[in-house]
Amino acid sequence: MAVRLNVTYIILDGHVELQRYRYLYFLIMLTAYILIICFNASIVFLIVIHKNLHEPMYIFIAALLINSVLFSTNIYPKLLIDFLSEKQIICYQACLFQVFAYYSLSSSEFLLLAAMAYDRYVSICKPLQYPTIMRKTTVSILLILAWLVPACHVAVAVGLNIKRKLCKFILRGIFCNNSITKLYCFSSVAISLYGVAVVFNIALFPMLFILFTYAKILTIAYRSCGEVRKKATQTCLPHLLVLINYSCLLFYDMAIVRVESGFPKIARLVMILQIVTFNPLCNPIIYGLKMKEISTHLRSLFCQVKVQ
């Protein structure tokens, strides 16, 4: 039975003084999860019920916030259970599924931001062609590709690892991410090269596309009238803030594995918690405060709640 458990289950060894602070951890992360759901759901609700927000830019924002909720739901329920459990373990198959969901949804964020950048480029640089280019069909295709392309890429990577033999069963983390590669008996050059190709295709290339697109937007806005510059600033700044935040968190995720040996356990825990908490909480705040139409409806909603 012990051998079977070692083969089937992985121990999550990234917690710090869990026996002493388990209830504090649970309370903090439960509060964060509730806030993530409430903040993101509020913005999505406003976009759904107000017809003047039924535009491509706001539809992409709603998709991005839904993606944040799905990303958090992949992590938080298991994390909350582990805080209250005597043993922090996960089935290997469930661990692979968590890896799949974690990286496919993370990559979808980059592609959704790339779709937003393209939408802003067409809106500001080609305003007369905007209704023709950004039709409902185009928006639907971009949304489908933003979720489908990363899922297919990551599914292949995870599928290649299903039959690989594990020689270690202790994962230095609180959930399954690319640290799982440290558990295999041998490293595969082919799988590593495919992983690099995946990172380029669904993370680096979209990021470069976003930066190139916004550079073009800012160049054209600088040469245009004040109204165009104001529109570019109001609509592009939130997307850039989200991109910077998420790019930093992606760097954290990659750095954790690279500097695993000798890296303080508490520092690793703090970095991991930032990855799963910071962006899902900040995205709705950034869009709620920086996007004029959303902030107007948000203030009206709060006023109605206070009156009632």
Structure tokens at 155: 């599914």
234 versus 217: the higher-pLDDT residue is: 217
Please state, rounded to an integer, the average pLDDT across all residues of the chain: 85
User: 4 pLDDT band (50/70/90 cuts)?
Assistant: very low
Rounded CA separation 267/173 (Å): 11
Q: Which of 59-63, 162-166, 213-217 has the highest mean pLDDT?
A: 59-63
pTM value is: 0.89
pLDDT for residue 37 is more than 60: yes
Measure CA of the first residue to CA of the last residue in the chain; give whole Å. 59
Tell me the domains of the chain and their CATH numbers.
2-307 (1.20.1070.10)
306 versus 216: the higher-pLDDT residue is: 216
Query: 78-82, 128-132, 261-265: lowest mean pLDDT where?
Result: 261-265
In the chain, alpha helices (H): 2-8, 18-49, 56-83, 92-125, 130-133, 136-161, 189-199, 205-223, 226-258, 265-290, 292-307
pLDDT for residue 197 is more than 50: yes
pLDDT at residue number 2:
38
Residue 184 bridge partners (DSSP): 166
Backbone angles phi, psi at 279, to 5 degrees: -70, -45
pLDDT at residue number 1:
33
Residue 10 bridge partners (DSSP): 90
CB of 134 closer than 8 Å to CB of 119:
yes
Find the length of the chain. Answer: 308
CB of 234 closer than 8 Å to CB of 290:
yes
Q: Which residues contact 180 (CB under 8 A, 6 or more apart)?
A: 10, 95, 96, 99, 161, 171
DSSP state of 163: T
pLDDT at residue number 3:
41
Rounded to whole angstroms, what are the CA distances from 257 to 64, 82, 168, 295?
Answer: 27, 22, 15, 39
User: 248 pLDDT band (50/70/90 cuts)?
Assistant: confident
pLDDT for residue 308 is more than 60: no
Among 64, 56, 158, 43, residue whose Cα is nearest residue 107: 64
Rounded CA separation 124/101 (Å): 34
253 versus 159: the higher-pLDDT residue is: 159
